[in-house]
Structures are given as structure tokens and as C-alpha cells.
């Protein structure tokens, strides 16, 4: 939970330069937020994260936000969410918001592992050894 909260506040600080509503979230505590990040292991493959980016498109801004939530015992995310918003004419328009949530991550990981084991076993059985390959061709 700590890595997610830290990444959310850190991204809010970064996005605050282009989004006035986010500026007020983290700016008063900027130094404390940066210091708190040193307490967390922030491996991107096993800890929950929040990403936020903004793109200037001339007369407006496009905001991209992504949240990835992991559960402790699985390398597969429990939840992934994407939000794309457009800020034009002083209004914020939500263009698209997509969320995917999974359950039974351990079963999914076990199933994926079985598929890869089966594929690699089939590849190694069906592979032609160099000696066999050479003996298939005869010189005329």
C-alpha cells in the first residue's frame, strides 16, 4: 500500500505543473513525500503503482492515468485501470476509462506456467538434433 500511495503522491507532484487541481495535493508536503519514498522498495514487478502523465496538445491537455495493483503472492496484477481525460475550455472531459480486475491470480499463474512448460516440452521433443538433420540429406 505504501508504494502505491508514494507513487500517487509523487506523480501528483510531477503532474502539478500542468494540472492546477493536482498541484494542491502534494505541493505543501513535497519534501516529506520525497523522503518517504526512500522507505519503500519500489520494484515495478511486485509493488502497486500509480502513473500519471500529461500531454500538451495546443489548446488543451490530455491526462493519462494508470493504476496497477498487485496482491502479495502473485506476479499477476489484481487490478489494472487506465483513464484518459481531456482538459479544454476550462472543463475536464473523461474520454475513456477502462479497468480490469482479476481474482484467483495464483490459479492464473499456475495455468500460464503449465502452458509454458507444455510448449517448451513439445519444442524440445520435436526439435531435430544436428546429427539427425545431417543424416537426412545425402550427397548425390
Instruction: State the total domains in the chain.
Output: 1
Closest Cα partner for 54 from 70, 39, 65?
A: 65
The conformation of residue 61, written as its DSSP 8-state character, comes to E
CATH number, domain containing residue 29: 2.20.50
Low-confidence ranges of the chain (pLDDT < 70): 1-3, 12-30, 33-34, 36-46, 125-140
**Domain-embedded: residue 132:** no
**pLDDT at position 20:** 58
Global pTM value = 0.56
**Domain-embedded: residue 115:** no
**pLDDT at position 44:** 57
**Domain-embedded: residue 91:** yes
**Domain-embedded: residue 140:** no
**Domain-embedded: residue 121:** no
Range of the domain at 77: 2-102
**Domain-embedded: residue 110:** no
The conformation of residue 17, written as its DSSP 8-state character, comes to T
Amino acid at each position: 500500500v505504501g508504494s502505491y500511495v508514494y507513487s500517487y503522491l509523487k506523480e501528483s507532484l510531477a503532474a502539478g505543473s500542468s494540472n492546477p487541481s493536482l498541484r494542491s495535493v502534494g505541493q505543501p508536503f513535497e519534501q516529506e513525500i520525497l523522503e518517504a519514498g526512500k522507505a519503500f522498495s519500489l520494484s515495478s514487478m511486485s509493488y502497486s503503482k500509480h502513473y500519471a502523465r500529461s500531454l500538451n496538445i495546443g489548446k488543451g491537455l490530455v491526462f493519462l492515468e494508470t493504476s496497477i495493483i498487485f496482491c502479495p503472492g502473485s506476479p499477476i496484477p489484481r487490478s489494472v485501470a487506465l483513464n484518459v481525460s481531456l482538459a479544454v475550455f476550462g472543463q475536464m472531459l473523461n474520454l475513456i476509462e477502462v479497468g480490469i480486475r482479476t481474482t484467483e491470480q495464483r490459479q492464473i499463474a499456475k495455468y500460464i506456467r503449465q502452458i509454458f512448460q507444455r510448449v517448451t516440452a513439445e519444442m524440445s521433443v520435436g526439435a531435430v538434433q544436428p546429427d539427425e538433420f545431417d543424416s537426412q540429406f545425402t550427397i548425390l
